[in-house]
Every structure is written in C-alpha cells, then in structure tokens.
Amino acid sequence: MLVRKDEFGKLWRLQPGWDEEEPRVVEDVNRTPEPDGSYRHYFLQVPPSVRTAREAVAWTFGLASADEYALTLES
C-alpha cells in the first residue's frame, strides 16, 4: 500500500500479516538511464517509523532526520 510519494521516491507499507511491525520499503528510481534508455527501480527496506520517502532515503544514508538530507549532486 502506498503511504506517500514525493520527489525522493515512493514509500510503501507492506501488507499487514507479513510482519507485526508492518515493514516499509522506499522505491527510488535511478536518475541515470540504462543503455537501453530505461530507468532502474530500487526497493530498500526502512524502519516502520519513517513517514516520508525523503525521510526513508535519509535513513538509508545513516542520517537521523530528513532535514539532514540535502541532495546537492546527482550522477
């Protein structure tokens, strides 16, 4: 079930019954196209406490809050 979508990706909640804590995953799309022109999607598990995709992506970089995550360069 989609929880929230923002410019950093999509935050998904796995269906209840998989785990008591309702694990979440963030879906991120690589901004660099593959040789065939497609874009690769990544799904990363994050803690159930995250509320936004930005917060989830920040967590994957070891940051304590979404405010600490400031994208300055994409490759």
Domain that holds residue 14: 2-68
70 vs 75: CA distance, rounded Å: 15
Asked whether the beta carbons of 49 and 65 are under 8 A apart, the reply is: no
Number of domains composing the chain: 1
* In-domain check, residue 75: no
Residue 61 clears pLDDT 90, i.e. is over it? no
Give the pLDDT confidence score for residue 18 in this predicted structure. Answer: 57
pLDDT digits (tens, 9 = 90+) for 6-59: 988 999 988 765 555 778 999 999 889 999 999 999 999 999 888 899 999 899
Q: What is the pTM of this model?
A: 0.74
For residue 73, is it within any domain?
no
Asked, for residue 24, whether it belongs to a domain, the answer is: yes
- Enumerate residues 6+ apart whose C-beta is below 8 A from 35: none
Structure tokens given for 43: 């799904």
